[in-house]
Amino acid sequence: MRPVILRRGLVALFVAAVSFGATTQAQAETLRIGYQKYGTLVLLKAKGTLEKSLAAQGVDVQWTEFPGGPQLLEGLNVGSIDFGVTGETPPVFAQAAGADLVYVAYEPPAPQSEAILVPKDSPIQSVHDLKGKKVVLNKGSNVHYLLVRALEDAGLTYSDIQTVFLPPADARAAFERGSVDAWVIWDPYQAAAEQQLQARTLRDATGLADNHQFYLATRPYAQQHPAVIKTLIDQVRDVGEWSKANPQEVTQQVAPLLGLPADITLASVKRQGYGAHFLTPQVVAAQQKIADSFYQLKLIPTPLSIKDVIWTPPATVATAP
pLDDT at 18: 37
Q: Which fold has domain 29-108+212-259+273-309?
A: D-Maltodextrin-Binding Protein; domain 2 (3.40.190)
pLDDT at 316: 64
Write the CA distances from 201 to 113, 124, 125, 182, 274, integer angstroms.
Answer: 11, 11, 10, 10, 23
Residues of the chain with CATH 3.40.190.10: 29-108+212-259+273-309, 111-204
Q: Could you report the per-residue pLDDT of 201-242, keeping only the tens digit for each?
A: 999 999 999 999 999 999 999 999 999 999 999 999 999 999
| Architecture category of domain 111-204 in CATH | 3-Layer(aba) Sandwich (3.40)
> By the 8 A CB rule, do 202 and 146 touch?
no
pLDDT at 254: 85
pLDDT at 19: 38
Which regions in the chain score pLDDT beneath 70?
1-28, 316-321
pLDDT at 317: 57
pTM (2 decimals)? Answer: 0.82
